[in-house]
Structure 1
Amino acid sequence: MIQTIHVDNIYVQYDDQLMPKDVFDCFSSGFWQQQQKIIGSAQGRGTTWFVQLDRVQAALRHYRRGGLFAKIVSDHYFFINWGKTRSIAEFNLLEVLNQSGVNVPRPIAAKVQKKGFFYQADILSEKIPEAADLLDILQQRSLTIQEYQAIGLQIKKMHQAQVNHTDLNIHNILLDKTGKVWLIDFDKCYQQSSKNWQAANLERLLRSFNKELRKRAIKWQASDWQYLIAGYMA
């Protein structure tokens, strides 16, 4: 069950079936290092820490800005209300997608710490074990027709949940060792009631395939796109 704790300037939302009791400590990588639960890390705008919980593996991420503005303000955002903060919004969207049957990481816990007119944010979400993104896979092999159709089906389910993935690209689609398709990275994504944005989502993904074909010579050809669309239309 999703629980909420609001103490002074700190707001935490968490799944009490996945989250350990130390809910306030869980957003510190040092806490997990002391517990000897760190199982890996990845570098992006900052360090994402992978930790082992009792029931699942999790990814701990601190929200950081990108672009030139990040050199001035790296991790502070203007506060409007708790629900519109980056971590709580992503947590809630992942919960909507899970309830809609879309294969996305389960949200585990999200934290917001308000500081005057600004806030900092962190999120702990499920890490999909033994999974690789499409870029890594397509540098090694071609996808099967069935895999493309499965990708199209997951995108369709996401669209049926009225979720606009504003950065849908081949980095944000995973295949695990069983061939299950996962969609990830829903920061700054949102639900949208109209349908005119759905084609733009697909066009963005198509541009991503073509970009990586030119840049890294991935094992993909234009005719593969029809299989993904077939899965989407099924």
Structure 2
Amino acid sequence: MLETRKQNNNYIVFDDSLINDNIECCFDVQFWQKSNKVIGSATGRGTTWFIQLAEIQGALRHYRRGGLLGKIISDHYFFTCWQKTRSIAEFHLLRELRDANVNVPKPIAARVKKKWGTYQADLLSEKVPDAQDLVAILQQRSLTADEYSAIAKQIKKMHQAQVNHTDLNIHNILLDKQGKVWLIDFDKCYQQSGEKWKEKNLQRLLRSFNKELNKRQIKWQMRDWDLLIQSY
């Protein structure tokens, strides 16, 4: 069940079927380290910490800015209302997508800490087990027609839910050992009416394939894109 806690300038939303103890501490990596629950990490714009929870593994992420502004204001954002903060918005969007049968990580808990007119944000979501992104896989082997079809079907479901993935690229598409396709990283994504933006999503994904083809010599060619589009 979804629960919300608001105290002073802190706002937390969480799924009590996945986590219900030490909610205020669960966004502090030192808490998990002291409990010997940290099982790994990944470094990108910041560090994502992988946590062993009672039922599933979680991925704990602190939101950080990129670009030039990020060098000046690394992790503070302008506050307008709780529901429009980045972690709370992503938490609820993941729930919407799961309700639409899109394979996305389970949202576990999100927190916003407000100070004056700015806020900091954290998200604890499911770590997809035994999965790699398409970049890692395509550096080793080509994908099958069935795998491209499965990717297309997940993107189609996302679009039918009217969700605009503003950063749809092959780093944000995972394939697990059972052949299941997952879509991840919905920061700054949103639901949008209409149809034209869906083609822009697909073109962004195509640019990502071409970029990694040139950068990492992935095992991909244009006829693979045709397979994906035919299934979409």
Normalised by the shorter chain, which TM-score bucket?
Answer: over 0.9
Asked if 1:134 corresponds to 2:134, the answer is yes
Aligned to 1:35: 35
Amino acid at match of 2:152: G
Tell me the distance in 2 between the aligned counterparts of 1:211 and 1:38: 34
Secondary structure of the 1:110 match is strand
Give the C-alpha shift of residue 70 in structure 1: 1.1
Give the C-alpha shift of residue 25 in structure 1: 0.3
Q: How many residues in Structure 1 have an aligned counterpart in Structure 2?
A: 232
Tell me the distance in 1 between the aligned counterparts of 2:15 and 2:96: 13
Tell me the distance in 2 between the aligned counterparts of 1:11 and 1:106: 19
Give the C-alpha shift of residue 225 in structure 1: 0.8
Give the C-alpha shift of residue 20 in structure 1: 3.3
* 1:178-215 alpha-carbon deviations (Å, 9 max, x no partner): 01000000000000011110000000001111111111
Secondary structure of the 1:27 match is coil
Amino acid at match of 2:168: L
Tell me the distance in 2 between the aligned counterparts of 1:39 and 1:149: 33
Question: For residues 66-145 of structure 1, what are the structure 2 equivalents within 5 Å?
Answer: 66-145=66-145
* Aligned residues with identical type, % of pairs: 67
Aligned to 2:178: 178
Contact 1:103 1:183 in 2 (8 A): yes
Secondary structure of the 2:157 match is helix
Secondary structure of the 1:112 match is strand
Tell me the distance in 2 between the aligned counterparts of 1:226 and 1:2: 41
* 1:130-168 alpha-carbon deviations (Å, 9 max, x no partner): 100000000000000000000000000000000000000
Amino acid at match of 1:67: G
Amino acid at match of 1:145: A
Give the C-alpha shift of residue 230 in structure 1: 2.0
Question: For residues 150-229 of structure 1, what are the structure 2 equivalents within 5 Å?
Answer: 150-229=150-229
Tell me the distance in 2 between the aligned counterparts of 1:4 and 1:22: 14
TM-score, structure 2 length as denominator? 0.99
Calculate the aligned-residue CA RMSD, in Å: 0.6
Unaligned runs of 5+ in 1: none
* 1:58-117 alpha-carbon deviations (Å, 9 max, x no partner): 000000000111111110000000000000000000000000000000100000010000
Asked if 1:48 corresponds to 2:48, the answer is yes
Give the C-alpha shift of residue 36 in structure 1: 0.4
Tell me the distance in 2 between the aligned counterparts of 1:51 and 1:66: 25
Structure 1 runs (4+) greater than 4 angstroms displaced: none
Tell me the distance in 1 between the aligned counterparts of 2:141 and 2:202: 22
Tell me the distance in 1 between the aligned counterparts of 2:194 and 2:131: 32
Tell me the distance in 1 between the aligned counterparts of 2:45 and 2:223: 34
Secondary structure of the 1:75 match is coil
Secondary structure of the 2:109 match is strand
Tell me the distance in 2 between the aligned counterparts of 1:164 and 1:93: 11
* 1:10-37 alpha-carbon deviations (Å, 9 max, x no partner): 0000000001311110000000011100
Tell me the distance in 1 between the aligned counterparts of 2:211 and 2:231: 22
Secondary structure of the 2:153 match is helix
Secondary structure of the 1:188 match is coil
Tell me the distance in 2 between the aligned counterparts of 1:3 and 1:164: 26
Comparing 18-27 with 102-111, greater Cα deviation is found at 18-27
Contact 1:107 1:124 in 2 (8 A): yes
Give the C-alpha shift of residue 226 in structure 1: 1.4
Contact 1:94 1:107 in 2 (8 A): yes
Tell me the distance in 2 between the aligned counterparts of 1:17 and 1:57: 14
